[in-house]
Amino acid sequence: MSQFSVILFFSNNYAMYASNTLKKKDISHKLIPVPRQLSSDCGYCVRINSGDSSAVEKMLCETGIEFDRIEVLQ
């Protein structure tokens, strides 16, 4: 089973904004519901390849997109 990372955001708006920004930069990702094991709240997160985590985190910080954390999952 391969590893992937999910980026958790403080709001759905940040998740959608991040998804649009990643799409413009041709970074492979998927907007998905937050997995139950991470939060019982309704909402979305962005799934990325674990190898892209550092580059995506840097891009989010540079563009001012606030996020809660990045979790590695299998």
pLDDT of res. 40: 61
How far is Cα 38 from Cα 40, in angstroms, rounded to an integer?
7
Q: What predicted TM-score, i.e. pTM, was given to this entire model?
A: 0.90
Domains annotated for the chain, with CATH where assigned, are: 4-73 (3.30.70)
Contact 72, 2 (CB under 8 A): no
Provide the residue-wise pLDDT of the chain in tens; the chain has 74 residues: 578 999 999 999 999 999 999 999 999 999 999 998 888 676 999 999 999 999 999 999 999 999 999 999 98
Q: In sequence order, what E strands does 1-74 have?
A: 4-8, 29-33, 44-49, 69-73
* Among 62, 64, 73, residue whose Cα is nearest residue 39: 73
Q: Rg of the chain's alpha carbons, rounded to an integer? A: 11
What per-residue confidence (pLDDT) applies to 41? 73
